[in-house]
Chains A and B, each alone.
Chain A
Amino acid sequence: MKQLGVLFQKEWRENLRNYKIFWIPAVFILFGIMEPVTNYFLPQILDSVGNLPDGAVIEIPPPEPAQILAAVLGQYQLIGMLVLILAYMGTIAGERKSGTATLLYVRPLSFTSYFLSKWMIAGLIAIISVWSGLLAAYYYTFLLFEQVDFVKFIQFAATYSVWILLVVSIVLAASAALPNPGFAAAVALAVVFLAQLGDGLLGAYWTVSPVKIPNYAAQWLVDGPVRADFWWALGIALLLIAMAVTFGVWMSRKNAADTKV
């Protein structure tokens, strides 16, 4: 565990010096702001592009602020996750492929510290990104529409953070298990999207599923999800995170011999 600090410092420097710590939150903030702003200007946009006959009156009811924040999650579910998966697909597979890992693996390296240092930095940046993006969305929704209850917002963002941490854990485990970054990204994307597809098609038959966490997060903005379902889903998600991390540690040790010498 003494190595964890040393390795975390290395990861921190990497993420700082290749600007991941700036541009990933920037993407989340951008999409967080875009949703309330486009909603606000929607009547004007329709007015200027729509070929409506003169005298036609467009009456759009202003959207609920909770709907806007939920729509931001919709963006993160596609673009946000894609950004995180592409940013961290190579964190282990890439080090092995380029051979930079060799000079670490040849030492008495703790693979637990090795994997955890990467998981911590990716998780930290993902959570910083989600929170700064959602706070931006919250602020612009407040400016342009109405305020959402802040406690509800905290519950909403915290719940979604668990889901994003699960996604990050899956990417890192894939990067540890697979021989190259592209393959790792493809598998992580396939796992996440197939799980969502499966839940979308058949999810009506069950209420407890970690894939439903983003929905539960959005429900916190209104009345809140059914508590028992929510806690079960959260528990399963945390268990899956622990499993992905354990698997990642094991795979990074097992695949150490694949590093380019």
Chain B
Amino acid sequence: MNMLEARRLTKRYGGELAVDQVSFTLEEGTATALIGPNGAGKTTTLSMLAGLLKPTEGSVEWDAHSGIGFLPQHPQFFPWLTAIEFTEMAAKISGVEAKLARKQSERTLEFVGLGQAMNKKTGTFSGGMKQRLGLAQAIVHQPKLLLLDEPVSALDPTGRREVMDLLKSLQGQTTILYSTHILNDAEEMTDQVLFMQRGKLVEQGSLAEVKKRHANPQIRIGFDNSEHAARFLQSNPWQAEVKGASIWLPASGGPSMEEVLRVIASDPAGVNAVERQSATLEEIFLKVVGAR
């Protein structure tokens, strides 16, 4: 079932197109990574999905009853409210009953690791704590759709790890769309990827699909040193690229894996590794974005 559908979403500021005809759907219960360089239009897209910005053209359709949670890139809190006061207010405005709001807020703050700081004023919070509180206010009313703008890019490696783990524990029960420019994170938690550049969606699909489309798997043969590699190529005149102590065989038109293994089995001098390498998300991203 579709949780959300964006149709030819467009945002124009003056003459400038911030977001240009972006269309995609979010399946219920999936995690989608919106990937793109700074200024690609990710935040503008998320703001339109969250209902903060009105699209110039196009539409967003989603199940209005499901509730929405939104975490901006730099969430700002009222410094004179405590974490629990803020979370409780957020829950109530989102329609959580007064009786439940307190309990749900406490549980959520425990969940994001702010159990100890619940009664502290948010004005005293560090960046990492604010990010956690931002996550807490986004999930306290148990929305079915979660929109997160760069949820981890402002955090240090430990904080990043912890917040990613929190998000992963929500995966499956909640539909998540998050923007990022950190591709390792995207690879870790994503069913679908959307690549954005200069306001346009330049590639989309499931992670597996996109990888397959751009993967171009190559075979790498590793040697102890470059002399071994050179000698190997002399006795096997394949079209290949030599990089240091490795040789790379092209994805198509070259010998198959079986053939390579047979050759090596008969003459294994100096070989220490044989592997099929598929591209990482980062390489695909650079390829897709760089090609334009």
6 A-B residue pairs with Cβ-Cβ distance under 8 Å, sorted by A, are A6-B89, A6-B93, A7-B89, A9-B89, A102-B72, A102-B76
Given contacts A257-B53, A261-B47, A261-B52, contact A100 B76 (CB under 8 A): yes
> Judging by beta carbons under 8 Å apart, are B90 and A107 in contact?
yes
Which chain B residues lie closer than 8 Å to A17 at the CB level? 80
Given contacts A3-B93, A6-B92, A99-B72, contact A106 B50 (CB under 8 A): yes
Which residues, 191 to 211 on B, are CB-close (under 8 Å) to A? none
Residue of B nearest to A259 (CB): B52
> Judging by beta carbons under 8 Å apart, are B76 and A260 in contact?
yes
Interface residues in chain B, defined as those with a beta carbon under 8 Å from any beta carbon in chain A:
43, 47, 50-54, 68, 70, 72-78, 80-81, 85, 89-90, 92-95, 134, 137, 149
Which chain A residues lie closer than 8 Å to B78 at the CB level? 10, 14, 100
User: A108–B134 Cα gap in the complex (Å)?
Assistant: 17
Say what secondary structure dominates the interface of chain A. helix
Say what secondary structure dominates the interface of chain B. loop
User: A104–B77 Cα gap in the complex (Å)?
Assistant: 10
Which chain A residues lie closer than 8 Å to B85 at the CB level? 13
Residue A18 interfacial (CB < 8 Å): yes
Given contacts A3-B93, A6-B92, contact A103 B76 (CB under 8 A): yes
Closest beta carbon of chain B to A117's beta carbon, Å:
11
Which chain A residues lie closer than 8 Å to B89 at the CB level? 6-7, 9-10
Closest beta carbon of chain A to B180's beta carbon, Å:
16
Q: Specify which of B51, B54, B93, B95 is in contact with A104 (CB 8 Å cutoff).
A: B93
> Judging by beta carbons under 8 Å apart, are A261 and B149 in contact?
yes
Closest beta carbon of chain A to B138's beta carbon, Å:
9
Given contacts A6-B92, A6-B93, contact A105 B52 (CB under 8 A): yes
